[in-house]
């Protein structure tokens, strides 16, 4: 699967987009790289439990692919990057320990083109590669002892919800903790400089940065309160001019529009923002007035809206036409699968997805859709086999675990179902509940001594993880 500038989102067995770029070397800091990754993992688990993280394979695949194209052009990459989405209309993005970059859905929806979106991701990648959070902690450590545990709650809130986060910080040790969230102007200038270079080298329009800053400036004038991005990224007026002058140093031709970007925008509106009747009217009007960048994106949004409104024949007609001209497009295949499930055309979906998955067994959109159809068709054993193989490659995929739990439940395998539920709770740092699930699994193990031993060992691992979380 690949993203082509101006093209669709495709399944491609030869694409290696999710392979990691070569890892660079950087100087040590107050926080070791190992501890930075440990803190990043802990924060991510808490975010899953406390923030509206979107578990959408299509949008996950899109944003991870886009991010990886940028990371591939960055220097000093120390760990694999994880890009994820939050369901929030705020125009915001944030980076934190261990290569995690969060993007609010409002950022994608309000970006005018893919280069604007990519400019924000490149900026956040630069914050990570330059270890700006770790460096600010190192500076503060000279005058005060490092208190990671006391910072976690404020950082977590501020990243997912800047207004709530800033309020929490103000109630605590404001001066010291705010520095852990608000990058200094020097940090911002450095991230801008490096980000624009990454943006241009990755094949995007370097003017995307100044374009995005201009969009922020326009929208902020219409709001009484500061915008989310501006609260976490100080932005003086000169920043737009600086970004524009930096972009002018790169000789870049015309960058074609990205179909995948506009499909993602349509998906966010249809799936996460407005009600189906409004969306049907919105996309129908766009098609009637030729008010779109890509007709396919408007038709795709309309198909999603019809699907949500249970108008399956209308949705199916649109998707059939889209797939006829672009049979490997994952956005279309996903809607095709949902329609097939609702209309109980399981065999048709299984056949189509199986042929695609055979060529691209690592793609989460294909695998998870196929597993879902297999479960609906009560082919539980096949779904279990498919999901277990996938989780070996993607061990932190929440949706895969949820589907695997459903497959075990349908197949009347309570021992395995409780074990899988334990992993789901662990992914949101709910270790006591994870241990409870494993104890339930233990009761179903009967005379399976090896299985009991594995469960006991996993319980100890969860207890160790809980203790590490306490001692951060």
Q: What positions carry a catalytic annotation? A: 124, 192
In whole angstroms, give the CA distance from residue 247 to residue 48: 36
HEC secondary structure over 213-264: HHHHHHHHCCCCCCCHHHHHCCCCCHHHHHHHHHHCCCCCCCCCCCHHHHHH
Annotated binding residue 347: no
Phi (first) and psi of residue 104, to 5 degrees: -75, 140
> CA 393, CA 386: separation in Å to the nearest integer?
12
In this structure, the dihedral spanned by the alpha carbons of residues 89, 367, 65 and 44, taken in order and rounded to 10 degrees, is 60
Is the separation of the CB atoms in 64 and 83 below 8 Å? yes
Please count the other Cβ atoms lying within 10 Å of the Cβ belonging to residue 392: 8
Q: Are 342 and 307 in contact (CB under 8 A)?
A: yes
CA dist 152 and 425 (Å) reads 19
Quickly count: other Cβ atoms within 10 Å of residue 208's Cβ.
Answer: 27
Task: Give alpha helix (H) positions in 112-207.
Answer: 114-129, 132-141, 148-160, 162-171, 174-178, 185-201
Distance set, CA 452 to CA 267, 310, 404, 435 (Å): 44, 46, 20, 13
Q: Which residues are annotated as a binding site?
A: 123, 127, 188
Q: Which residues are annotated as a binding site for Zn(2+)?
A: 123, 127, 188
């Amino acid at each position: 699967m690949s993203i082509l500038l101006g093209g669709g989102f495709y399944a491609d067995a030869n694409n290696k987009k999710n392979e990691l770029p070569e890892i660079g070397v950087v100087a040590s800091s107050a926080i070791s790289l190992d501890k930075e990754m440990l803190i990043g993992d802990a924060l991510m688990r808490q975010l899953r439990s406390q923030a509206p993280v979107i578990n959408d394979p299509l949008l996950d695949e899109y944003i991870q692919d886009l991010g990886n194209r940028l990371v591939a052009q960055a220097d000093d990459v120390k760990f694999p990057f994880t890009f994820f989405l939050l369901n929030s209309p705020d125009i915001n993005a944030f980076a934190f320990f261990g290569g995690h970059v969060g993007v609010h859905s409002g950022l994608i929806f309000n970006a005018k083109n893919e280069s604007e979106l990519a400019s924000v991701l490149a900026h956040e990648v630069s914050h990570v590669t330059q270890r700006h959070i770790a460096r600010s902690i190192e500076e503060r450590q000279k005058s005060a002892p490092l208190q990671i545990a006391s910072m976690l709650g404020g950082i977590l809130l501020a990243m997912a919800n800047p207004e709530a986060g800033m309020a929490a910080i103000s109630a605590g040790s404001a001066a010291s903790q705010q520095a852990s969230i608000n990058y200094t102007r020097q940090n911002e200038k450095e991230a801008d400089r490096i980000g624009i270079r990454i943006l241009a080298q990755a094949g995007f329009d370097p003017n995307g940065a100044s374009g995005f800053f201009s969009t922020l400036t326009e929208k902020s004038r219409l709001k009484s309160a500061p915008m989310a991005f501006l609260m976490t990224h100080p932005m003086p007026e000169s920043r737009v001019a600086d970004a524009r002058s930096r972009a002018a140093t790169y000789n870049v031709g015309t960058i074609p529009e990205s179909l995948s970007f506009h499909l993602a925008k349509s998906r966010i509106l249809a799936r996460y923002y407005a009600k189906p009747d409004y969306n049907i009217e919105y996309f129908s009007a766009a098609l009637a007035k030729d008010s779109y960048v890509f007709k396919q994106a408007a038709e795709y949004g309309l198909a999603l809206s019809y699907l949500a409104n249970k108008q399956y024949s209308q949705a199916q007609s649109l998707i059939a036409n889209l797939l006829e001209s672009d049979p490997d497009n994952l956005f279309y295949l996903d809607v095709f699968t949902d329609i097939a499930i609702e209309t109980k055309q399981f065999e048709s979906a299984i056949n189509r997805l199986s042929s695609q998955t055979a060529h691209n067994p690592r793609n989460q959109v294909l695998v998870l859709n196929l597993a879902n159809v297999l479960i609906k068709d009560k082919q539980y054993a096949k779904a279990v086999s498919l999901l277990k193989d996938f989780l070996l490659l993607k061990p932190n995929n929440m949706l895969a675990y949820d589907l695997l739990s459903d497959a075990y439940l349908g197949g009347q395998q309570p021992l395995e179902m409780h074990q899988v539920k334990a992993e789901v709770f662990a992914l949101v740092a709910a270790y006591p509940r994870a241990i409870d699930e494993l104890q339930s699994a233990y009761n179903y193990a009967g005379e399976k001594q090896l299985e009991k031993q594995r469960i006991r060992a996993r319980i100890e691992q969860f207890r160790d993880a809980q203790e590490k979380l306490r001692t951060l």
